[in-house]
Amino acid sequence: MGFERAFAIGLAWRLALVGLATLAFTWALNQPDLAAVRVVAFLACVATIIFLWRHIRRTNVELSRFVESVLHGDLAQAFGRPGSGSGFDELGATLDKAMRKLREERLAIADEGRFAAALVDESPVALLTIDAEGRIDLANKAARKLFRRVAGVRRDDFAIHGSTFVAALEALQPGQRRLTTMLLDGAAQRAMLVAAGVSRMGQGMRLVSVQPIQGELNAVELGAQADLVRVLTHEIMNSMTPVTSLASSAAELMKEVDDGSDPALGDARAAVETLARRAAGIMHFVETYRQFIRTPEVSVRRFAGKPWADEIGRLFAASDHGKSARLAIQVAPDDLLLDADPDLLAQVAINMVKNGAEAAAGHADQPEVRLEMEPLPGGRTIIAISDNGPGVAAGFREDVFLPFFTTKPAGTGVGLSLARRIVVAHGGSITLAPPSEGGARFEIVV
């Protein structure tokens, strides 16, 4: 209101000056002897009109400059002109106060934006954005780390992680989640995809989180298996302990009373001794499986791959299996280094080359087992153990790592289960690769 009053007063007295100057000029026109006065009156009239025009225009110019600066995002401009008079100071102070408010709000919005960007970028879950044209962008550090081998933003650029993963990524719609398989460092991994719909600059897009969960699945599965084995072995041993003791005592008693004169007594003695041996065998079998529930203690250190593989070869050659099958070793490069527990990893490799030799010896004319090692992108190493045996039947491919499962007549079903526990304890994976040229091929990534 102060500005309006001051502006009106200023406008009124300027109009009065214009009026007076006009009256003076009109009066001078009617005085023939006052030519000089007419000129002065005319100039005074023009000056007062200019003075009035500048008074009116000044506010418009300043307001236009102020609005234009806001339009271009320049919030550093000041509107106020101290000492300009005519109430202009009040208007300037009000507009400058509004400008300061805008600057404060902009800083607050920028701060919130930086916080939101940091929140997204530091999220431990990989985030992807997919626009309507199919462009895929890595939205945070976790995504850039997980997809470090991806060199583009199109669907085909992500094919290195498997066609199954790409198809799931393309089909996933906002509000959906899907469990899929993706290739990471050369190994198949289970991953959970979750999609949400977001908008950016008026354009809708999908925000997809990618969470590899193979490690968690392995831990849950192995934990469930260990719990199952713990319960089964406990119950079986509780039931079998008295049976084994009684069978052994009965066998000793029968041995004392059987002098060979009574065939029926001899048959009974043979039956009891068989029962005692079988009961002892079951107890040994159960005791062996109790080892399965113990989590391996991994002591990771860096070691050279080729000497480690050569030692596996020497141990294999000195065993009975080395007489029936050939072990071919290939390590590339020669100076390959691994970060793992060499002793536990050797236990896995020895058991698996032994299995491969047994499978190949009964199938191929020239039984052979291969142990291959090479680095993978990302710093991991793949250890592949293959043979030229009959391979694993399609119906059993998903079961080979389960405890108690075996296809060998004299097998216990412990070997591959324990191998998996050791590899998972390293944070790695072990898989049965799809058959290519016959035989079986197991791939260990550590």
> What does the pLDDT read at residue 29?
77
pLDDT tens, residue order, the chain (446 aa): 444 565 566 667 777 877 887 887 787 777 777 777 777 777 888 888 877 777 666 666 666 776 676 666 666 666 555 555 445 566 667 777 877 888 888 888 888 888 888 888 888 999 999 998 889 999 999 999 889 888 888 988 998 888 889 999 989 999 999 988 888 876 778 899 999 999 888 888 999 999 988 777 777 666 666 666 666 666 677 777 787 888 788 888 887 777 777 788 778 878 888 878 777 777 776 776 666 566 667 889 999 999 999 998 988 888 888 888 899 999 999 999 999 998 889 988 998 999 889 888 877 788 899 999 999 877 889 999 999 888 887 777 777 777 666 666 555 566 787 888 888 888 888 888 876 677 889 999 88
In whole angstroms, give the CA distance from residue 201 to residue 273.
Answer: 84
CATH no. of 123-212: 3.30.450.20
- Classified by CATH at the fold level, domain 301-445 comes out as Heat Shock Protein 90 (3.30.565)
Residue 309's pLDDT is 93
Q: How far apart (Å, rounded) are the C-alpha atoms in residues 348 and 371?
A: 12
pLDDT of residue 86: 46
Residue 303, pLDDT score:
93
What is the structure's pLDDT at 412? 55
